[in-house]
Each structure stands twice: as structure tokens, then as C-alpha cells.
Structure 1
């Protein structure tokens, strides 16, 4: 037996043992009640108390030995470790069964353990987020020690080729110094995101209003799953569609109007990305609009307002916090998209306001900087962390703005 099989056998053995412990403890509690004593808690709580004392000591001991083995302190054979864990679990089960009495407060003990598990889960989420932020910040600091932060966020030229050569140890005599101006990259990101939101927001919101306020129950049951299919299509398929179908159509339409358009342009991925994130807007908006109390609609229409006026003046303001959250989720999804941009918009960091020209985005440049054979500590590679850091700040600002909007429109209905 190897350590990769250890957890399989551990959990495979704990599940039937846990079921057995639950049934034995529950039967013992019921037997105590049949003797004339009234149980303090429901019988199920006594069963879960026994399961906790079986599973938690075994799992904690397994994790402890795993960490000791990971850090190379000492190592014991896997079968011996498995036997030790089950022995500890059996002792814990014996200890738990010995506490099962009529006056034992099993519910309080189980709820305390449940609360502790919830706190641990929340702490893991918070610590993971903190770890992600710190990893990006520390690597960004290394980058900004070489490249000025001000030059990075205000520069209009992104030409890091020389930095790649420096990181590879090649001679760069006579070559221009590397330029890490991120303005063209963020401008391309915002342009494609804006185009996508111009498509997704009206279509998604109007779809949500129709499904929640006008469509019949049967029609809503058919339309909503069909609309949500868009969210399940792989982004590479959207990229193929944008590059092969939409981009040539845009080029032909531009030529018919006497305009010049590149086959890798910002308009095609923006339009397709907008179609891709329609379900994020429509599904969430539909749920929050549907959650508005029916009494508000009835009261508004009883005062003589039309259905459209009720939706505009009552329903939408009441659902505005959820709608704003849907818009923010869709925006984050658009900002983080990579494959569609690579296939339809190109890789050129072009500072332009013309959506018919090729551009690139932050996520594309991050992928480009972190792939290949370049040195990890080179400025070119670390620029990916700097781009991620600035993008993190932008996302934070978006969250702050959305919270302000939510706070402004939030209403309480008692």
C-alpha cells in the first residue's frame, strides 16, 4: 500500500463504520428512553455525536501524520498508519458511546462541532483569498522594483521582447530597452468588456423581465433552460465562431460601408462574449425579479398603474441590488475571458478607439508571459503578476462602486 491509496482506504472504511456508529448510538439512545427516562435531544443527535468521535480523531491523526511525512520529519509504513488511525477512531467511538445517557446534551455538542466546521470552512476561503492576493502582491513588488509603477500604468507602449532576451542571457547591445506600458492592454480589455456588456445587459435584462413578468409558467420553464445552454458552451467554440463566422461578416460589412477592418478585431470577440454572458445576466436577474413580493405588484396595480409602470417604478428598484450583482458577475466574466480574445482579437497591444482594429487584453498577456521557456524571475514573466495586481485593484474598485449602488437602491420589505 502506498500513501496515494491511504485516503481511499481511510474514507472507504470510515463511511460504513460511521453508518454503523450512527445506528448503534441511536439505538442505545432509544433504549435509554424506553427505560422510562426522557432524552434531552432527539435520537439522531446521539448518533451524530458517535460519528463525530469516530471520524474526527481518525481524520485528524491522518492529517497530522501526513504533514509530518510531507515535511520529512519521519515516515511510517502506510498500513501501520491506517491501522493507527482506525484504532484511534475506535477509541473515539468507545468514548462517544460511553457518554450516551438520557440527560446528555447531545444536540449542543453536535451543534458546537458543526459551528466549528463552518468556521473552519469560512477561514479556508478567506485564507485562500488572502494567499492569492499576497502571492500576486509580492511578485508585483519585485517587478515594480525594476519597472516604475507610474511608467507601467501610464505607458502607451508594450514591447517586452528585450526583457525576454535579458532573462535568457542573450546580448541586447544596440537594442531598445524593454517597454512595459500597460495602457494599450487595459484599453483593449475595457473596450471588449464594454462591447460585451452593451450586448449582454439589455438582452439579458429584457429576457429576465419577460420570463418573470410576462411569460407563462410553461413558457418560462422552456425558455430559461434553453437560454442557460449558452453558459455551457465551451469558450473555445465561441472563439471558433467569432474567428470563422463573425469576423469575416464584420470585415465584409465594413468594406461595404467604405471602412477598413482587420480580421482580428475587437468587435467580433466583444459581440460573441456578450452573447456568452447573457445567461449570467438573465438567469440571476430573473431570480431576483421573481423574488420581489407579489404584494408590491398587486398594491401598485391596485392604485391604477399599468403593468409596465409597475415593473419600471416598483419591481426593478426593488430588485436592483440583485441586478447590479448580476451585472458585476457578468463584467468579471468578460474581463477574465481569454480564449475568445486570443482567437478573434489577436495578440497585438494596440492603443486605439477603433473596434475594427486588432487589440489584446490583460488575461491574454498574462498567459503569454507565463508560458514558454523564459526565466521566471525575468521582468517579462513578472509583468504577468503586475498586470494581475492592477486588474485586482480594478476589480476592487468595481466592487466598491457596486456596493455603493446596491446601498443606494436597497430597500427592506417587512
Structure 2
């Protein structure tokens, strides 16, 4: 010890290189560990990106990217991109595009895209396609050839639709998903009331989701409190009942509610047998059935986070409040309830966001006026093959969800709900 102390005292700087070398070796070891961990995670990240992120990005891109016209009718699209009018040169380019698309068998794709903007284009293109096989207009007579075949080819509304569709990037689908459109001059305008649909559907979706969330809060809070207060044996039984819906298929649970709530179902039969009603009640294929089925499906998602928070609250707080003279109700509202707000808010936002995107349950137990926005996304994806509008609706739904989640984070403050003083 004396020797080591004396050597250090003799050369106090000799230990510095050793400390620097140890730091460098430790940094290298940490980098090796980081590289090894990253190497193990890379396959998972690649899998998530390829099979999860890329399809979503591709779907959402379809809301603003629509190159169908430009890819299949390049000559007329280039004419319109340059800002040229609908003159003889345009109609000659359009004729050549129709002939080329006929050979490539892509006329139908362009017709469907134009038809989404202005109904009637699909029939016009088919007629022009058949006529182009029989004859070719002389030089300088292309515009008259189109006008003679169908006067709508020179109609300003149809020309404006072609100019909009010729742009590979467009706001057409986003505007349509908000019941907006552009007139011939390009000015934003609301669609006619008989064509307005999606704003009402979004409001309906938010209303149903908010109603389901409130019902789950009213039913789930006392259930979670009962779980905390129950004995271990009864708690396990009650938790089994809460978790049991997860063990059955969503489709089976929804179909079961159709059977239970129908006019010949057990509920109506019991009410008729007790003499409480004279005729069967309409409990399904309406908004009531949607609320019942969605509440049954989503209630566990509120109970479980709320139960986890309640279980961590010491019971001494309530006893201390009562010992200080507070009545049970006042003690509950001041000493217990504020501490459960993080779990209640987390469960509520989870239920709300999940209910926004539900499709099967409202489709099976709801009526025509109870369908939510996810139904229309599926409809335009599978039935009409209108991917642009389906992508726009999905993008709007995603934006609404992110905004609501951001508001939740702002209100709760990283999981802490402020209730004021």
C-alpha cells in the first residue's frame, strides 16, 4: 500500500492513460452491444415496415395520388398539364389515347376514374372506343367527331372533370370525403344536399363512439370498484367473467346479440311472458342494438386499465378521510375518485378510438342509418373498387383519431389527469 501510494505520489499523471483506455474499451463494448441488439431487431423492423407500414402508407397515398388518366392517356394529359385549352389539338391527342388504350385494354380503367368525378364518362368512352375502331377523323375534324358522337365531350363540366383527372396528384377524393367539390372555375363549393353524405356519417360515427364510451364508463367504473373490493375468490370469478368475451369470436358475439335481441328472442319472450309489453320491441337493426353490442365488446377494455389503477390505491386514504369527518360520498369524490382518473381516462380513450373503427358489429346489428365510416371504407374498397375515396375516408379517420389522442395527451399531461384545486 505504501509502495502504491508513493508511486502515485511520485507520478500522479500515470493513472490518467489507464483511465482513458478503460473508457475507450467500455465505449467500444457498449457499441458492440448496441450493434448486436440492433442486428437482432432489424428483421422485426423490416417485417413491420414491409407488411404493416408500407400497405398503410400505400393506402393513404391513394387519397391524393390518382395517376390513372395520366398513365393511360399520356398525350391528352400532357396537353392539359401545359394549361392548353380544349382545342383541336387536345381532341386529336384524346383520339390517339383512346386508340392506344383500346389496344392495351385500359380504357375501362380510365372510364371508371372519370366516372368517379363526373357520371357518364364510362358510357362516353365505350362509345368513342367502338367508333374509333370503325373510322378515323380527318385532320382538323377531331373535335367535331367527338361532339357528333356525344355532345358531352365539349360540355364545360365534363371538360373540367377531364382537366382535374389528368393531374396525377389531386384533392378530389379528399374534398369528396368532406362533401366538397370544385366547380368549373376551380372554386371550392359544397355538394348539393341530396349528394351530401360523409360529414353526416363522420358525425354519426363520433356520436356512436361517444355514446358507447359513456355507457362503458357508467357500467365499468362500479364493476372495476367491485373487483377491487371483492375477496380473492370472488375477484377471480368476476375477472373470469370480464375476460370471457375475449375467448369467443367477435363475429359469434355479434351474431349472438342478433339472436338475443330479435323479436322472437329471449328478451322479448320474457317481457311478453311477464305482461310488461303487448307487442315485441324492436331491439335490433337499430341504434339501440349497436350500443348494446358495442358496449358488450368494448367494456373489458375500460374495466381492465381502471382496475389496475384502483388496485394500486391504498384503502387507508378513504379511512383517513372518514376519520377526519368527511362523509362517505364526499370522501370518495375527494380522496378516491381523483386517483382513478388516469385509469378511467386511459380506458375511455381506448374504448372511444376502438369504437370509431368498428365495422362488423354495426353492419350486423344496426340499420341503414346506423352504419359507421368503416362500413363505407369497406364498401368503396370491395364493391365499387373506388380506392381513392376509400383512402380519403381512411385518412380522415386517421386524422380524427390522432387529433383526439393528442387532445387526450394534452388534457392528461403524460398520464396525469388534472382535476383542479
- Give the structure-1-normalised TM-score: 0.54
Q: How far apart, CA to CA, are the structure 2 residues paired with 1:297 and 1:125?
A: 50
1:48-197 residue pairs with structure 2 within 5 A? 108=30, 111-113=33-35, 116=38, 131=54, 134-142=57-65, 145=170, 147=172, 149-154=174-179, 179=195, 181-197=197-213
Deviations 1:245-268 (A, max 9, x none): 224379999x96999969521210
Q: Deviation at 1:112? A: 3.1
Q: Deviation at 1:394? A: 1.1
Q: Deviation at 1:211? A: 1.3
Change (3 A) 1:217 1:118: farther
The alignment status of 1:216 with 2:231, answered yes or no, reads yes
Change (3 A) 1:257 1:403: farther
Consecutive unaligned residues of structure 2, counting only runs of 5 or more, are: 1-24, 67-168, 181-191
Q: Deviation at 1:340? A: 1.4
**Are the counterparts in 1 of residues 174 and 389 from structure 2 also a CA contact under 8 Å?**
no
Q: How far apart, CA to CA, are the structure 1 residues paired with 2:312 and 2:46?
A: 31
Q: Deviation at 1:280? A: 0.7
Change (3 A) 1:286 1:141: same
The alignment status of 1:341 with 2:362, answered yes or no, reads yes
Give the alignment's Cα RMSD to 1 decimal.
4.2
Partner of 1:385: 391
Matched position secondary structure for 1:140: coil
Deviations 1:304-333 (A, max 9, x none): 445554442233322322321111111122
Q: Deviation at 1:398? A: 1.3
**Are the counterparts in 2 of residues 362 and 387 from structure 1 also a CA contact under 8 Å?**
yes
The alignment status of 1:401 with 2:412, answered yes or no, reads no
Aligned residue pair count: 272
Query: Given the alignment, which residue of 288, 305, 308 partners 1:267?
Result: 288
Partner of 1:277: 298
Q: Deviation at 1:237? A: 1.7
Q: How far apart, CA to CA, are the structure 1 residues paired with 2:242 and 2:392?
A: 37
- Give the structure-2-normalised TM-score: 0.53
Change (3 A) 1:148 1:388: closer
Q: Deviation at 1:281? A: 0.7
Partner of 1:205: 221
Q: How far apart, CA to CA, are the structure 1 residues paired with 2:59 and 2:390?
A: 9
Q: Deviation at 1:203? A: 0.9
Q: Deviation at 1:205? A: 1.4
Change (3 A) 1:313 1:265: same
Partner of 2:98: none
The alignment status of 1:292 with 2:313, answered yes or no, reads yes
Q: Deviation at 1:121? A: 8.7
**Are the counterparts in 1 of residues 286 and 366 from structure 2 also a CA contact under 8 Å?**
yes
The alignment status of 1:225 with 2:246, answered yes or no, reads no
The alignment status of 1:321 with 2:342, answered yes or no, reads yes
**Are the counterparts in 1 of residues 255 and 364 from structure 2 also a CA contact under 8 Å?**
yes
Q: Deviation at 1:122? A: 9.6
Q: Deviation at 1:192? A: 3.0
Change (3 A) 1:115 1:233: same
Change (3 A) 1:135 1:263: same
